[in-house]
Amino acid sequence: MSTLPEVRTILYLTDLGEHTRPVFRQAVVEARKHGARILMLHVVEPLGPTGTMVLDMYLSAEEAEKLKKGGMREILEKMKQRLDIFCQEELGVCGMEPTLVKEILVASGQVSEEVLRLADKHGADLIVMGRSASKRFGTAAMGSTVRRVLRSSRIPVLVVPNT
């Protein structure tokens, strides 16, 4: 019988959506239980094809590229600030030291790919994420990001119900 790996680093994925706080609190519970530290991650998806097409229609290629890069940098910085405030508030509510969160990460790209890439890069032992769901035919269907991460992760994934 194999034993579960020791949990020292938890990668917590957040979208700062409606059900973020209970999922973060579960990550805190896991960190306390294992004596681990949390990496908080938010992934900003890049501009989609429609948005790119609109920019390309009204701006030169150079202007559009400059706007995309500059805009993304600004968005990532603002998200990092929002995550920092959220983290301070929640750790205060939980009565935890700010050092419980080792680092706040903000990335851009396809969410599931970035989760897996950063979990590997930072040596995460556990991924904690919320289960977003949509109601279809009277049942909740698990979100596509969660399914992709579950299918491809080489480390345990804790999916916290948030509906």
CATH architecture, range 9-161: 3-Layer(aba) Sandwich (3.40)
Structure tokens at 157: 């994934």
Q: Report pLDDT for 68.
A: 67
Q: Report pLDDT for 138.
A: 37
Burial call 136-157: b when 16+ CB within 10 Å, e when fewer: eeeeeeebebbebbeeebebeb
Our separate counts of H helices and E strands in the chain read 5, 7
Structure tokens at 67: 């706007």
Which positions of the chain have pLDDT values less than 70?
1-4, 47-48, 52, 55, 64, 67-69, 94, 132-142, 163
Structure tokens at 125: 């032992």
Q: Report pLDDT for 141.
A: 41
Which of 156, 48, 18 lies closest to 109, judged by CA? 48
Q: Report pLDDT for 132.
A: 66
Whole-prediction pTM value? Answer: 0.81
Distance between CA atoms of residues 37 and 9, nearest Å: 5
Query: Residue ranges per domain, the chain?
Result: 9-161
Please name the residues in contact with 57: beta carbons below 8 A apart, sequence gap of 6 or more: none
